[in-house]
Structure 1
């Protein structure tokens, strides 16, 4: 191989390596945001009902079915938050506290909720729930930049 051609080959190899590194870096940046968005959408589906007032068993029975938490099995406990999503997202800007899993990405705030608890005697798809409406402290896990709620901790 002539010296000129070997320099071109080496330059192309460097460019190839840099492009590969750039591609892997971009994939690393895109992947978490996709996963985070999916978790955020799941949080919204399972826990956010800004127009709802909740408070009765019929509400829980309907919402748990509508939000697809009774398909494979009856979800034992679920909490619906009756606040605007921006109020819920603002909880993510409060001081970090420890989550039940030990991570430090949880935040707490006081919101209107309906807690739905499975009666213990129902079977899917006819899951039955008891409702308890209240205004109470909740703890949610937040991720991303900007931080968004991705998990209802307690």
Structure 2
């Protein structure tokens, strides 16, 4: 990709992912802290937080993409679901089953504040997730 084309890409990525990330962060914090409070298990809290983030994040992406494709119809549902699988599938599997829970659990153990550990763990896992996701997104858009 030419340098001139790359300069606007971060703005595109922010527009696409930032609203979903805001909901994902809120879901992560709520899920992690509630699971930690109820179970006392860092591992369970990390799993719940990671999966809560996925639910919040993908809900926003799904509804925005579905609206962009014309709303609720079988064709737009199928197209939205397929595009999301291509864009997020590999990164999400890796993130939700391995990286997200591991990094979040580690941050919960390292940092004395569960809230701070949750936020740092989520952001660290997101860095790995976005390396894969943005690559998929750009490849999908070139297609």
Q: Smaller-chain TM-score range?
A: under 0.3
Identify the structure with the greater strand proportion. 1
Identify the structure with the greater helix proportion. 2
Larger Rg: 1
Q: TM-score, normalised by structure 2?
A: 0.28
